[in-house]
C-alpha cells in the first residue's frame, strides 16, 4: 500500500474523520480498493481481487467507526 495512505490512516487513528475532506478521501479510498479488486478479478487474478476487496471492506468498516 502507498506510504501516503498509511500516513492518512495513522492520522485518522489519532483524530478520527473530523471533516468532509477526510470523509471524502476515505470514500474515494474504499471505492478505489473495490474497483481495483474487481478489475484484477476480471483480468483473471482472483486471489488479488479478493484481497483488495477485503482490504476495502476493512477500510470501510474502520472509516464508519471513525465517524461515530
Q: Please state the domain count of the chain.
A: 1
* Stretch (H or E) spanning 45: none
Residue range 36-48, pLDDT digits in tens:
999 999 999 999 9
End-to-end Cα distance, the chain: 26
With a CB cutoff of 8 Å and minimum separation 6, the contacts of 41 are 48, 49, 50, 53
Residue range 5-62, pLDDT digits in tens:
888 888 888 888 888 888 899 999 999 999 999 999 999 999 999 999 999 999 999 8
Task: Render 15-54 in DSSP notation, one character per residue.
Answer: H---SHHHHHHHHHHHHHHHHHHHHHHHTT-HHHHHHHHH
Q: Note down the domain range covering 55.
A: 3-67
Amino acid at each position: 500500500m502507498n506510504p501516503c495512505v498509511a500516513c492518512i490512516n495513522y492520522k485518522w487513528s489519532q483524530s478520527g474523520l473530523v471533516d468532509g475532506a477526510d470523509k471524502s478521501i476515505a470514500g474515494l479510498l474504499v471505492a478505489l480498493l473495490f474497483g481495483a479488486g474487481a478489475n484484477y478479478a476480471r483480468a483473471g487474478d482472483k486471489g488479488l481481487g479478493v484481497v483488495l476487496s477485503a482490504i476495502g471492506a476493512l477500510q470501510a468498516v474502520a472509516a464508519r467507526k471513525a465517524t461515530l
